[in-house]
Amino acid sequence: MSSSHQTSKYFDTGATTTLPRRSTRANLASQSYKPEPSDDDVTFGSDIEDAVKPAASSPPPKGAVRRITAKRQRASTLSSPPAKKKIKPPPDSDSSLSSLSDSDLSSPESKPTAKSKPAPKPRLPKSLQPTTTKPPENWDRVYTLAKQMRLPGGAASNAAVDTMGCERLALATASPLDRRLHTLVSLMLSSQTKDTVNAVAMRRLQTELPPCTPDAEPGLNLANLLAVDPVVLNELIGKVGFHNNKTKYLKQAAEILRDKFSGDIPDTIEGMMSLPGVGPKMAHLCMAADNGWGRVEGIGVDVHVHRITNLWGWQKSKTPEETRKALESWLPKEKWKEINWLLVGLGQAVCLPVGRRCGECEVGLEGLCRAADRVKVNEGRRRRKDMGREVVEKTEVVEKKEEVGAVVKKEEEDGPVDFTTTTTKTEAIAVKDEVKTERAESTDRLRTSYTRIRRSARTAPA
């Protein structure tokens, strides 16, 4: 065998199959071109390993550069002192100040103080601030309807306040001085007390209060009130609410009237309110009463006035005093005295604190009361409609009777009458029977509706 054949045996590429080597980034980098180190890169006089200068390191990636730069900036910020702020002098400063250098102005001694806020303006207490309120819509119509109910024949006529109100309890036979005292005492007793109970207590004081001396007459006057024993006084007014406190207030007020007001009641609102147990409502009512001083200086607002005006939506107030200020801001002054009588009677007869009779209230029937019970209002409207139909039917029956009577009278005087063009007795009787039938049907409808309302109220959840 020749040498060429032996050589081809070892170098025959077709005899054996070799897999291609895997190409990686590191493999490709090792095969890249690298220049030979030049003489500049070699340092003589040392070992070969030390003679070759290390190649320059590749620059770090962009993200690393940003991180390193941020760290350096933070380190320089923390190590450097804070920059001093230069302060410019105001334009109207003295010449000596303007001549100072920037270094002098930036020194710690010249550091300006914080700008102080202006002092707040003094404000009146909320109770003394003036209240301005626009008149509510349709208030004059509501006022007129309420007055109609309070007049004779109305739904709220003959209320307890009309005969037993505080301003009506003074004895007509007493002197003007004693009548003013009667009005003040009745107002002091009326707090948290019904008018009927208050009237009985006042009558006992006027007739049973012991005389201060054997020669004096019994009854309610300042001398007897000063001399009476508190136990006896408490027994006489024991039916009114909080009679223990009121006994103490009456004795204290009597001493104040004797010492500070010459035995008479105060003639100013401030003087009235200086008495124990007397508030704004009592003071204004006593000032405006005919048996008081007869001067209207404000509105006497009690629980009825406060409650009803809020139900009507005239204002949104939480206390009677807020209601008084709101009403006085827009209500005409000529109505200041009347409105107490108007709404107290309405609250006692129709707009009750519990169980309001909205079906009989003219304000609710006209849809002017925001708090009206719609069920009661609708029932009142149906009842009034049926009553109106009955009134019309009664009028027609009367007219038929009068017409028939005229026909009969004419027949007796002039002889037979032609009934083809006039109403006969038979027709009048038939009309009367028809009216009775319709009246019975309306009564049955009302009875059925009331029964349905009662059943729904019983089955309603508590």
Give catalytic residue positions.
281
Contact between 257 and 226 under an 8 Å Cβ cutoff? The reply is: no
Q: Which residues contact 247 (CB under 8 A, 6 or more apart)?
A: 230, 233, 234, 237
Residue at token pair 């306040």 = 161
List phi, psi (to 5°) of 52.
Answer: -80, 120
Contact between 201 and 174 under an 8 Å Cβ cutoff? The reply is: no
Give me 372's structure tokens. Answer: 């009206």
Distance CA 220, CA 213 (A): 14
Residue at token pair 């003074």 = 170
Contact between 336 and 318 under an 8 Å Cβ cutoff? The reply is: no
List phi, psi (to 5°) of 42.
Answer: -115, 135
Beta bridge partners, 52, equal 42
Contact between 105 and 87 under an 8 Å Cβ cutoff? The reply is: yes
Q: Which residues contact 198 (CB under 8 A, 6 or more apart)?
A: 164, 166, 169, 186, 189, 190, 240
* Surface-to-core class of residue 379, CB atoms within 10 Å of its CB (0-12 exposed, 13-18 middle, 19+ buried): middle
Taking the CA atoms of 404, 406, 409 and 415 in sequence, report the sign of the dihedral they define: negative
